[in-house]
Amino acid sequence: MADTLNAAVAILRKNKFKLTKQRHALLEFLLTNQGHYTDVVTVDAYMRTEFPGMSHNTVYRNLKEFEEVGIVEQNTEQERTRVKYQCDFHHQHHHHFICQNCGKVTELQMCPMDFFTDQLPGYDITGHSFELYGICAECKAAGVVAAPKKTLVNN
């Protein structure tokens, strides 16, 4: 855990950010919860409990800066923004499987972009987002069953 924290601190320093008490506490909170995405509102509430004078804007600005330098990953689901500590500082482009029961995040080792670029000759793809959702092995072993997804039918 210390190595991961030191890597994040090195990234902040490389990008000319001061390591304030607040930023250090934010890094530690994210690192403690690194296996799951955490709702930004929860992060904000934690930071404002630890630092009562800290504004919402400061928390959100720091999270945005952490994302810009690659320390934090962001995910938006059902209009809720969630963040988590970067899985791998050496391979920042990656994708996830997210358990719909416990929220556990598992890094996927391959990117499906070749499949799509082959289907779109002559196109320029400028970005993508790819995540898989379901039930992790631990939850499945505990008897959790995935809720069926509704399928829209076009007539």
Domains recognised in the chain with CATH numbers: 2-85 (1.10.10.10), 95-141 (3.30.1490.190)
Whether the per-residue pLDDT at 151 is higher than 60: the answer is no
Q: Is 94 annotated as a binding residue?
A: no
Q: Count CB neighbours of 46 within 10 A.
A: 17
The whole-number pLDDT of residue 130 equals 72
Q: What are phi and psi of 114, to 5 degrees?
A: -60, -40
Confidence of residue 3 (pLDDT cuts 50, 70, 90): confident
Q: What is the mean pLDDT of residues 75-85?
A: 79
CB 11 within 8 A of CB 69: yes
CB 99 within 8 A of CB 135: yes
* Higher local confidence (pLDDT), 67 or 79: 67
Whether the per-residue pLDDT at 101 is higher than 50: the answer is yes
Q: Is 87 annotated as a binding residue?
A: no
Q: Is 93 annotated as a binding residue?
A: yes
Q: What is the mean pLDDT of residues 47-58?
A: 95
Whether the per-residue pLDDT at 155 is higher than 90: the answer is no
Task: Report the chain's mean pLDDT, rounded to a whole number.
Answer: 82
Global confidence as pTM: 0.67
Confidence of residue 35 (pLDDT cuts 50, 70, 90): confident
Q: Is 139 annotated as a binding residue?
A: yes
Distances in whole angstroms, Cα of residue 71 to Cα of each of 1, 62, 119, 140, 146: 14, 11, 33, 31, 31
CB 66 within 8 A of CB 24: no
Confidence of residue 109 (pLDDT cuts 50, 70, 90): confident
